């Protein structure tokens, strides 16, 4: 079985990389403009808690990448990745998928999830060549369909079409010399009852 064929069904059990065609308006201004834009100009990506961070290029890079993600702009994410990009996504049980494998998996999510939102909690690292940024964040999504049987173990018990769930994530992203994403690690877990984003307070 080709890995790419294997990855597609995984989208069902993997709410991390979600896409929504309903929120299809992606970024259409330059990175430089976004560096200076207010935190609230794209509500599906809320980075208001990390605005104080000193590396504004890192903030802008994260914003560009995560806005592509919440917008379901798979090709936009692909464009921001280096040729030798690899990603490990623990909630999806994906280990070292390459750029094209990831594009295939990512594209498959759109029919399952909608209304994807990201709340950044904390950030550290840098934007320099071969540096990495690390960001705690919560990803919210709404099921666009009733979950297939094989997806249920990875989702909250009893969740059905139209229900919203969230995951707490730690995203680590390495940049190459040109500022493209060359490596990504996504570690995360479904939110638990009583989850409180303010308990993570670092701002």
Tokens of 131: 């540096």
Binder to ligand NAG among 73, 106, 114, 137 (CB under 6 A)?
Answer: 73
Cα-based distances in Å from 25 to 37, 89, 188? 17, 25, 26
Question: Considering the complex, what minimum distance in angstroms separates the CB of residue 129 from ligand NAG?
Answer: 20
C-alpha to C-alpha distance for 154 and 136, rounded to whole angstroms? 20
Number of residues that bind ligand NAG (CB under 6 A): 10
| 41 interacts with ligand NAG by CB under 6 A | no
Question: Considering the complex, what minimum distance in angstroms separates the CB of residue 31 from ligand NAG?
Answer: 9
Question: Considering the complex, what minimum distance in angstroms separates the CB of residue 123 from ligand NAG?
Answer: 19
C-alpha to C-alpha distance for 169 and 88, rounded to whole angstroms? 13
Binder to ligand NAG among 2, 5, 28, 54 (CB under 6 A)?
Answer: 28
Question: Considering the complex, what minimum distance in angstroms separates the CB of residue 25 from ligand NAG?
Answer: 6
| 72 interacts with ligand NAG by CB under 6 A | no
User: Pick from 68, 171, 82, 80: which is nearest to 110 by CA?
Assistant: 68
C-alpha to C-alpha distance for 117 and 122, rounded to whole angstroms? 16
Binder to ligand NAG among 4, 9, 26, 146 (CB under 6 A)?
Answer: 26
User: Which residue is listed with tokens 């999510």?
Assistant: 109
| 186 interacts with ligand NAG by CB under 6 A | no
| 179 interacts with ligand NAG by CB under 6 A | no
Q: Which is nearer to ligand NAG, 78 or 187 (CB)?
A: 78
H or E stretch covering 56: helix 56-70
């Amino acid at each position: 079985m080709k890995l790419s064929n294997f990855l597609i069904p995984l989208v069902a059990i993997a709410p991390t990389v979600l896409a929504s065609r309903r929120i299809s308006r992606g970024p259409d201004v330059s990175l430089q403009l976004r560096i200076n834009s207010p935190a609230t100009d794209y509500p599906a990506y809320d980075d208001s808690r990390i605005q104080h961070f000193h590396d504004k290029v890192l903030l802008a890079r994260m914003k560009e990448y995560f806005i592509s993600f919440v917008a379901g702009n798979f090709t936009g994410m692909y464009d921001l990745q280096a040729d030798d990009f690899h990603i490990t996504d623990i909630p999806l049980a994906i280990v070292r998928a390459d750029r094209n494998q990831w594009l295939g998996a990512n594209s498959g999510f759109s029919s399952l999830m909608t209304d994807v939102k990201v709340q950044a909690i904390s950030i550290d690292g840098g934007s320099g060549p071969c540096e990495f940024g690390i960001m705690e964040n919560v990803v919210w999504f709404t099921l666009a369909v009733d979950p297939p049987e094989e997806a249920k173990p990875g989702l909250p018990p009893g969740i059905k079409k139209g229900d919203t769930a969230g995951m707490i994530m730690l995203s680590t992203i390495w940049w190459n010399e040109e500022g493209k994403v060359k490596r990504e690690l996504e570690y995360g877990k479904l939110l638990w009852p009583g989850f409180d984003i303010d308990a993570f307070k670092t701002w």
